[in-house]
Amino acid sequence: MIDSDKIIQILYPILQKGFWVKALTGISVRQLLEDQFKLSGDFVDLKISTVFLNGKAVDNIDSAIVTDNCELALSGAMPGFVGAAMRRGGYYSSMRSAVSHVEEISKPPIQEGVVKIKLYNTLIPLLGLEFVRRGIVVPQADAAGLLGAELNPFIKTCPNTPDSYVITIK
């Protein structure tokens, strides 16, 4: 049995760099976080203060829509003026409007898909284990260093994308 701190310590480079999960797409970021990932509304509102969708800072997680193959980066509150500017819906968010997420007019279909998740800072210890228990998919190149070590028994070649591994720790 490996303790959870150790798992996070081993996986934090991958959790920052990004991993893929299966999810329903065509729904809002909030729906993804709360309905699909089963996070509480309080957790989403209080702990996930900075959200990027495809590299653009999101202000409204109720209207921003995740699409198949999109990238979602999640972060706790960030320091400094720029950190404050990056927060969703924050007072200074207009200062980074050049990199703010703008919603598409056409709504994508609701369908099964995959989403790339990146976890930053305080959310690595808070959410990392949850995702790993559900199973994460990572490019083989990113996970090569894990083979032959403690997590080896939990790593399998991905049946859908053979150049990736699935890591699942129950």
Partner 1 sequence: MEKILRVDMGAQGGPKTSLAPLGEYAGLGGRALTSAIVAKEVPPLCHALGAENKLVIAPGLLSGSIAANSGRLSVGCKSPLTGGIKESNAGGMASQTLAKLGYAAIVLEGIPKTDDIYTIFINKDAVKIDIDNSIKGLGNYALIEKLKAKYGDKVSYMSIGPAGEMKLAAASIACTDMECRPTRHAGRGGTGAVMGSKGVKAIILDDTGIAMRDPKDPAKFKEANKKWVDGLKKHPVTGQGLAAYGTNVLTNVLNEAGGYPTHNFTWGRFEGHTKISGETQAALEKERGGNPTHGCHRGCVMRCSGIYMDKYGQYLTKQPEYETVWAHGGNCGIDDLDTIAMLDRLDDDYGVDTIEMGATIAVAMEAGLAKFGDGEAAINFVNQVGKGTDLGRILGSGAAVTGKVFGVERVPVVKNQALPAYDPRAVQGIGVTYATSPMGADHTAGYAVGSNIMGVGGKTDALSPVGQVELSRNLQIATAAVDSTGMCLFIAFAVLDQPETFQALIDMINAFYGLNLTGDDVAALGKSVLKNEREFNKKAGFTSAHDRLPTFFTRDALPPHNIKFKVTDAELDQVFNF
Residues making contact with partner 1 (CB under 8 A): 9, 12-13, 16-17, 46-47, 49-50, 52, 55-57, 73, 75-86, 91-99, 118, 120-122, 124
Buried b (16+ CB within 10 A) or exposed e, 78-98: beeeebbbbbbebeebeeeee
Q: How far is the CB of 169 from partner 1 (least distance, A)?
A: 19
Q: How far is the CB of 109 from partner 1 (least distance, A)?
A: 26
Residue 71 belongs to what H/E stretch?
strand 70-75
Nearer to partner 1, 120 or 154 (CB): 120
What whole-number distance in Å separates Cα of residue 86 and Cα of residue 21? Answer: 25
Q: How far is the CB of 119 from partner 1 (least distance, A)?
A: 9
What whole-number distance in Å separates Cα of residue 101 and Cα of residue 45? Answer: 18
Nearer to partner 1, 61 or 85 (CB): 85
Q: How far is CA 166 from the centre of its chain?
A: 16
Q: How far is the CB of 110 from partner 1 (least distance, A)?
A: 26
